[in-house]
Each structure stands twice: as C-alpha cells, then as structure tokens.
A = this chain, B = another copy of it.
Amino acid sequence: MLYAVFMSATLPPIPAPQEPVGEPELLQLSAAEDEPCLRADAARNRAALLEAATRLIAEHGAAGVTMEAVAAAAKVGKGTVFRRFGDRTGLLMALLDHSAKKLQADFLGGPAPLGPGAPPLERLRAFGVAVLYRTHEQLDLQLAAQPEPTRRFGLPPTRALTMHVTVLLRQLVPDADCELLARMLMGYLDPALIHHLTKQCGMPMDRLEAGWVDLVARVTCTPQSR
C-alpha cells in the first residue's frame, strides 16, 4: 500500500513562487506531470524521504515530523528535503497525494453515485460524504499539511475539488453564482472545521453527514430538508 505513494510526485522539483492567476482557469485535472523524470539518485532519495516521513508519522504523529528528522532518517542532507518538496507543507502534501489522486479519479471517472452516471444532485451529495470521511480518516495529516492562510485556496488539489463542485452546481442551479456557492460548500469540508466539530465539540460523523445533505438541499433549493 505504501510504494505507490512513494512513486507519485506532486510538486515541481524547484517550485518557483507561482503568482496566483486572476482568472479561474480551465480544470487542471492531473496537477502533476511536473516531474520531467528525476535523475536516478534524486528519485531514490525522494522515495527514501517519503518512506522516512511515513515512518516518523506512524511513530510520533504528524507533529513530530521535523524536516531535519526526516532528512536524518532517510540518511540525506537537509537541503535535499527542501529541494525536493519545497517546504514542510509540500512534503506533507506529497504524502496525501495518493489519496487525493484516487478521490479525484473516483469522482471524475469512477462508478456512480460519485462518478458520472448519477444525477448531479446525488453526485454532489456523494462527493461531500466521500470527502468528509476521507478527511476524517487522515485528520492529523490533513491538519498538519494545511498551508498558511494565504495559500489555502490556491493549491491544485483544492482547486480541482472546488471546480468539480462548481460544475455540478451549474447543472443544479444554473443562474446562481456557482463559484461562490461552491467555495462555500467546500468550506464545510475544511479539515480544520471537521476537526473542531468532531474532536472539540464531540459531534458524531453522522451529524456532519446529515448536515452536508441538508446543506446541499438548501443551497440547491431542493425539497427534503432534513
């Protein structure tokens, strides 16, 4: 289960500080393909680093993942870690990459009700529930991987999800401001919020799930509220 992860890449080798674009642009499905084949040794080190990070998380929780520790555990210099992943957040996101890709594949081409084939409303419901549980499973990692507020919404994975929701919404409520609505719905799925509601307020997941369904119903002005 691990090795697939180690081989998939997310970030450009040297992520030049990319200026955010003013216009929402076309869906950038596979945000990867940024790795124009690493040099042999680099690839090896990359895998070693991800493996080390995984081990450290398992042992000391996501909080215990120090860049220096990961470097040491992978028997590699600190600079190498940064060169490969840009920063701490980048490393952690690389660990989430596998599951992110899978989710994306599921709702883009997987079986109904998540994938195409089901009516939009059902897909939207299923989407929220799927994200909800995925996030719940990986809470600590998701939280630790949260970048500084300024970048939170610009990252490829988030944008892909938001875009998907936007598209579904456009089918359901064509004459609303679907971009805003989508952003909003995504807010409900924010890892930090899920953490707060479940861990700090003690809400069970069913309630969050029901909340999502209800929310979708309200936003789309569908009946069946609760």
Contacts and interface: CB of A to CB of B under 8 A. Distances in A.
B193 A153 contact: yes
A202 B149 contact: no
A96 interface: no
Interface stretch (A78-86, A108-116, A205-213): A205-213
Interface residues of A, number: 41
Copies of this chain, whole number? 2
Given A176-B225, A181-B211, A218-B221, 20 more contacts: A22-B201, A143-B149, A149-B191, A153-B192, A153-B193, A153-B196, A175-B226, A176-B214, A176-B218, A176-B226, A177-B214, A180-B207, A180-B211, A181-B218, A184-B187, A187-B187, A187-B190, A215-B219, A218-B218, A221-B221
Interface in A65-97: none
B149 A195 contact: yes
Nearest to A140: B150
B221 A219 contact: no
19 contacts: A20-B200, A22-B202, A23-B201, A149-B192, A152-B192, A153-B200, A154-B196, A154-B200, A175-B226, A177-B207, A177-B210, A177-B214, A180-B207, A180-B211, A183-B197, A184-B188, A187-B188, A215-B219, A218-B221
